[in-house]
Structure 1
Amino acid sequence: MKERSPLAPAAQPSIEAKTIAFTAADGYPLSGVMYRPPQPQASIVISNATGVPQGFYRRFAEYAAQQGFQVLTFDYRGIGASSPNSLKGFRMSYLDWGRHDLSSAIDVLAQDDLPIYMIGHSYGGQALGLSRNHHLVKAMQCYGTGAGWHGYMPLKEKIKVQVIWNIVFPPMVAVTGYLPWSKLNMGADLPVDVYRQWRKWCKHPTYFFADPEQQALKTQFAQVKTPIYAIAALDDDWALPASRQAFMQHYTSAPMTFIDMRAQDYSMKAIGHMGYFRKGAEKIWDQALQQFKTLQTDEQVDHAPA
């Protein structure tokens, strides 16, 4: 007999998945999908990794919705359903995804007056500190969030990444006017400004905090008080614990819990950088959702009348 997840209900509720359109604070049109159970008890916003369209997170969103969470996935500007007809000539800042797009997604969920939790994947864990309304997020679980510097990677991956940044990508961008990442089966194509800033910041051990033009981010990140659960898979060569620590140290006011994952502990052959949200990662999802449920219960107890 197949073992059922401890969080899975005996009968799965009917989940509505509805495409929604909303507008970022600076006027840019965005596209998302709202996964809604009949009677949601809380909301989750999923903040994507760089170049990863929202459809990648569909399985997790459906799984969470079946357990009572309303879940919003969305595409950042320039990605997937939020992309213009052509990326050539499309201008933006890499920081816009957190400052404008994630902030507006949080605003969408705030209209329902439910507790809001956040799942951040890679860049998505950085985006909380960029958002203007991080105070509305009760807690964040972030997966594979790190500083991006090759020095934190194993030797083989370090060499591979430097070859890609310095030899493979530049001529591709020069010819197309954007990064045609999809041709390498690495993700969605990226706007040229995202590529340039990402390449620049990944040259430094502390990422964009080392950029003289971005020093205000240190103060901004220090203002975040949202509890953070920072997860690193020990086979994720892009964001090992040292890389995670190099970035997370800038959330100086946020209660921080570090979690290291071994694939075998979750009945998985590998996790890597993307396996957190692939089929077969249900034990990881159970852990995340149970943590949110516990936090929600604790808060209800704290606010109960004496």
Structure 2
Amino acid sequence: MEVGAGDAASLDAVAGEAAAGALRHGDVSGQPVSFGCADGRVLHGHEFVVPSGVGQRGTVVIGSATGVLANYYHRYAAFLAAHGFAAVTFDYRGIGQSRGGSLRGQNQRWFEWGSADIDAVLAWALERSQGLPVNFVGHSFGGVGVGLAASASKLSRILTVGGQHAYWRDFSFRYKIDHAVRCLVTVPLVAVVGYFPAKRLGVMEDLPRGVALDWARSHKDFIAAAPAGSERDALRANQLAVTAPILAVAPHDDHYATMAAMERAVAYTPNSAARIIHLRPEDYGESAMGHFALFHSRYRHTFWEQSLGWLRDGSWA
């Protein structure tokens, strides 16, 4: 959903890798798994198991960006498994393998993706962790949605990559205009079609009505979009219960995950020690990176290795 021209090129490149062999990286392959949510919805994803002979370090659950298929992250997940972290990917309800039929009549919301979907996958991983740490890597919305999950209180570390919730005032100036134009298209189109037909427009995955409108109308206070009363109070309580240290990173040219956007995102979990780092493309031999590039396998020996240090022991080099 959140795609500029440069970002689209990065996403297409990674998607091409995924289509060419996303479920295998060296000796690691992904196995299909399902996750039952508290409300009865079933999600689908993959588990990348640590190969025999490699020391088990724990588990990493990967939370996707809005409108991005889980297989976008399979190369990274396989890399983590090859280095000792069992990795789990999944599609949110209404997306990809968890689409659940026609999106007409489905009205999933962002807060459900966090409180129901991310929570179900975290609970699944925690149950199987055998006492080893369970960490979370969240891309874009995933970096905010994790705080809505009750099970996030049991996480050991959190890494967010471009984590934010599309509050337009936090975007760079150019992307404020871009976002305004997209909203002018999104809201009436959703009203007519019943969901956001992103595939027909050539931009990522179709979105359920509620998620599309949450994206288009994102409030400066993320929780304000949730129903008032006990449900909203529970989401606030979940955010306050998160104590895992958070490392929030984004490329300096990520026009969505500006410093203001990342500061807003980590503020929702005030009981976590948070560190924010803007990455300079030139330090990675690049002239531009954007919102999606860091999950491309060309960063295997740079950013991916850096992320391992954080997930292992909280180091960053």
What TM-score, normalized to structure 1? 0.86
Contact preservation (8 Å) 2:187, 2:213: no
Q: Which SS does the other structure have where 1:138 is aligned?
A: coil
Equivalent position of 2:204 in the other structure: 187
Deviation string for 1:221-244 (max 9, x for gaps)? Answer: 222111100112210001111111
Equivalent position of 1:3 in the other structure: none
Q: Which SS does the other structure have where 2:268 is aligned?
A: coil
Q: Which amino acid aligns with 1:76?
A: Y
Q: Structure 1 179/281 Cα, relative in aligned 2: closer, same or farther at 3 Å?
A: same
| 1:170, distance to aligned residue in structure 2 (A) | 2.5
Equivalent position of 1:99 in the other structure: 115
Equivalent position of 2:36 in the other structure: 23
Q: Structure 1 267/155 Cα, relative in aligned 2: closer, same or farther at 3 Å?
A: same
Q: Does 1:205 align with 2:223?
A: no
Q: Does 1:229 align with 2:247?
A: yes
Equivalent position of 2:308 in the other structure: 289
Deviation string for 1:265-296 (max 9, x for gaps)? Answer: 12233221111212322211111111112249
Q: How many residues align?
A: 282
Instruction: Give the distance between the partners of 1:118 and 1:126, measured in 2 at CA.
Output: 11
Q: Which SS does the other structure have where 2:113 is aligned?
A: helix
Equivalent position of 1:299 in the other structure: none
Q: Point out the more displaced range, 123-132 or 175-184.
A: 175-184
Contact preservation (8 Å) 2:254, 2:290: yes
Contact preservation (8 Å) 1:25, 1:100: yes
Contact preservation (8 Å) 1:147, 1:244: no
Instruction: Give the distance between the partners of 2:137 and 2:164, measured in 1 at CA.
Output: 15
Deviation string for 1:146-190 (max 9, x for gaps)? Answer: 242222222221111101102x11332133210011223322100
Q: How does 1:1-306 map to 2 (within 5 A)?
A: 14-39=27-52, 40-110=56-126, 111-113=128-130, 114-166=132-184, 168-200=185-217, 202=218, 204-209=219-224, 213=228, 216=233, 217-282=235-300, 283-295=302-314
Q: Which SS does the other structure have where 1:96 is aligned?
A: helix
Q: Which SS does the other structure have where 2:44 is aligned?
A: strand
Deviation string for 1:19-55 (max 9, x for gaps)? Answer: 1122112110110101112243211000111111101
Contact preservation (8 Å) 1:77, 1:101: yes
| 1:252, distance to aligned residue in structure 2 (A) | 0.8
Instruction: Give the distance between the partners of 2:236 and 2:93, measured in 1 at CA.
Output: 24
What TM-score, normalized to structure 2? 0.83
Q: Which SS does the other structure have where 2:157 is aligned?
A: strand
Q: Structure 1 210/75 Cα, relative in aligned 2: closer, same or farther at 3 Å?
A: closer
Q: Structure 1 209/175 Cα, relative in aligned 2: closer, same or farther at 3 Å?
A: closer
Gaps of 5+ in 2: 1-24
Instruction: Give the distance between the partners of 1:245 and 1:273, measured in 2 at CA.
Output: 17
**What percent identity do the matched residue pairs reach?**
30
Q: Which amino acid aligns with 2:102?
A: S
Instruction: Give the distance between the partners of 1:267 and 1:221, measured in 2 at CA.
Output: 37
Instruction: Give the distance between the partners of 2:124 and 2:285, measured in 1 at CA.
Output: 36
Q: Which SS does the other structure have where 1:30 is aligned?
A: strand
| 1:249, distance to aligned residue in structure 2 (A) | 1.4
Gaps of 5+ in 1: 1-11, 297-306
Q: Which SS does the other structure have where 2:156 is aligned?
A: strand
| 1:210, distance to aligned residue in structure 2 (A) | 7.5
Flag the structure with larger Rg.
Answer: 1
Instruction: Give the distance between the partners of 1:226 and 1:172, measured in 2 at CA.
Output: 40
| 1:211, distance to aligned residue in structure 2 (A) | 6.9
Instruction: Give the distance between the partners of 2:154 and 2:182, measured in 1 at CA.
Output: 38
Contact preservation (8 Å) 1:153, 1:238: yes
Instruction: Give the distance between the partners of 2:119 and 2:268, measured in 1 at CA.
Output: 19
